[in-house]
Amino acid sequence: MTAKEVCVIGVPIDYGADRRGVDMGPSAIRYAGLHEILRQAGHKVYDWGNLPVPVPESRTPQNPRLKYMDEIVKVNRVLARTVEKISRDGQYPVVLGGDHSIAMGTIAGLLRVRPRLGVIWFDAHGDFNTEETSPSGNIHGMPVAVAVGRSQTPLALPFKGQFLDEAKIVYVGVRTLDPAEAAALRQSQATVFSMHEVDRYGMREVMARAIDIVTQDTDGVHLSFDIDALDPLYAPGSGTPYSGGLTDREAHLALELLAEADVLTSLEMVEVNPILDEHNRTGELAANLIASALGHRII
C-alpha cells in the first residue's frame, strides 16, 4: 500500500443509539495506540481532535421517530465540511465514532469530492431504516437510507442533493434486519453479503466480489465499519451485541485484502463502547483493524 497522510477525526456522539458510552469510542481507539501502529505501517498521522458534541443530558429529543435529529444534523454538517477539506487536500480521512449516524456526515463530505463513491459497509445491521420503518427511532439505524436519498427529512441536508448510488454500496456481515428494512433492501440495488454468504463462500471470495462492485466506475472507495460486525465473543464493547458474527481473523483478512487491493480512500470505525468493554479489548481490536485496512502487516 502506498503511504498516506492520515487525518484522524473523532466524533464523540451517541445521540443515534439508546445506550450511552460510544461517545468515548474515539478515546478508546486512540488509547489503544492507533497513531503508532499507523506510523509503523509507513503513514504520516495528523490528529484533528474531536468535533464538539454536547452531551445528550443537555438536550431533549423532540421527535420519537427521529430522536435527537437536530443535534445529529448539526454534527454531521460540521463533519461533512471537515471530511471534504481533508479529502480535497489529497489526505486520507479516518473518522472515529461515536455511533453510526456519523456516516451521514462522512459520506456527504466525501461525495462533494468523489461523486461516484463506492462504499463497503461492515455491520450486523442494515442501517436502512427510515423514520417510517424504524421500530426505535434511533438514527444510527438509518444512515444508509439517508445516504442513498430515501429520506426527505432534515437528516439529508448535509448531502445538498448529492446522494450515494445504491448500486455502489456493498454490505458485509449482516445478520439481523428489521422486517420492513429487509424488504426495502431486497428491492434496492445494494449488494448484501450476509453471514450466510461469508460462511458459504468464505471471506476471500466475498471480498473479491465486493471489491469488484465498489471499484467499477467509481472515483474512490469508503469503508464504514461498525464494530458489531464482529461476534461479541471478540468485540464485547458493543451496544448491540448479536451472536453469529465475524471472527477477529475474518475481519482482519477482509481489511487486509482491501489494503492489498489499495482501493480505499477513506474509512470510519464506529460503535465502540468502552463502558461495555473488557480492559479495552474492543478498542484495541478497532485500532488494529484500522491498521489492517491501512496496510499494517505482521511481516
DSSP string, 66-104: STTHHHHHHHHHHHHHHHHHHHHTT-EEEEEESSGGGHH
Per-residue confidence (pLDDT) for residue 146, from 0 to 100: 98
CATH T-level fold of 5-293: Arginase; Chain A (3.40.800)
Strand order in the sheet with 44-50: 44-50, 5-11, 92-97, 264-270, 221-226, 118-122, 169-174, 191-194
C-alpha cell at 114: 468523489
CA–CA gap between residue 270 and residue 221 (Å, rounded): 17
Name the catalytic one among 43, 71, 131, 140: 140
From the CB of residue 56, how many other CB atoms can be counted at a distance below 10 Å?
17
Name the catalytic one among 23, 127, 165, 181: 127
Name the catalytic one among 14, 131, 165, 228: 228
Q: Is 219 an active-site residue?
A: no
List the domain boundaries for the chain.
5-293
CA–CA gap between residue 57 and residue 271 (Å, rounded): 19
Per-residue confidence (pLDDT) for residue 160, from 0 to 100: 96
Name the catalytic one among 14, 71, 125, 231: 125
Q: Which amino acid is at 278?
A: E
CA–CA gap between residue 139 and residue 61 (Å, rounded): 12
| Local confidence pLDDT in tens for the 299 residues of the chain | 789 999 999 999 999 987 789 999 999 999 999 999 999 999 999 999 999 999 888 888 889 999 999 999 999 999 999 999 999 999 999 999 999 999 999 999 999 999 999 999 999 999 999 999 999 999 999 999 999 999 989 999 999 999 999 999 999 999 999 999 999 999 999 999 999 999 999 999 999 999 999 999 999 999 999 999 999 999 999 988 889 999 999 999 999 999 999 999 999 999 999 999 999 999 999 999 999 999 998 76
Name the catalytic one among 14, 84, 165, 271: 271
C-alpha cell at 223: 469503508
The alpha carbon of 188 is separated from its chain's Cα centroid by a whole number of angstroms, namely 20
C-alpha cell at 293: 485496512
Per-residue confidence (pLDDT) for residue 171, from 0 to 100: 98
From the CB of residue 149, how many other CB atoms can be counted at a distance below 10 Å?
15
Name the catalytic one among 84, 131, 197, 226: 226
CA–CA gap between residue 251 and residue 293 (Å, rounded): 10
Exposure of 282 in the CB half-sphere (CA atoms within 13 A): 30
Exposure of 77 in the CB half-sphere (CA atoms within 13 A): 11
Q: Is 165 an active-site residue?
A: no
Question: Which sign, positive or negative, has the C-alpha torsion 121, 125, 127, 129?
Answer: positive
Name the catalytic one among 123, 181, 268, 277: 123
Name the catalytic one among 14, 99, 100, 250: 100
Q: Is 252 an active-site residue?
A: no
Q: Is 43 an active-site residue?
A: no
CA–CA gap between residue 16 and residue 101 (Å, rounded): 6
Per-residue confidence (pLDDT) for residue 61, from 0 to 100: 83
Phi/psi at 248 (nearest 5 deg)?
-65, -35
3-state secondary structure of 226: strand
- Residue 192's DSSP bridge partners are 171
Q: Is 212 an active-site residue?
A: no
Q: Is 140 an active-site residue?
A: yes
Q: Which residues of 272-295 are buried (b: 16+ CB within 10 A; e: fewer)?
A: bbbebbeebbbbbbbbbbbbbbbb
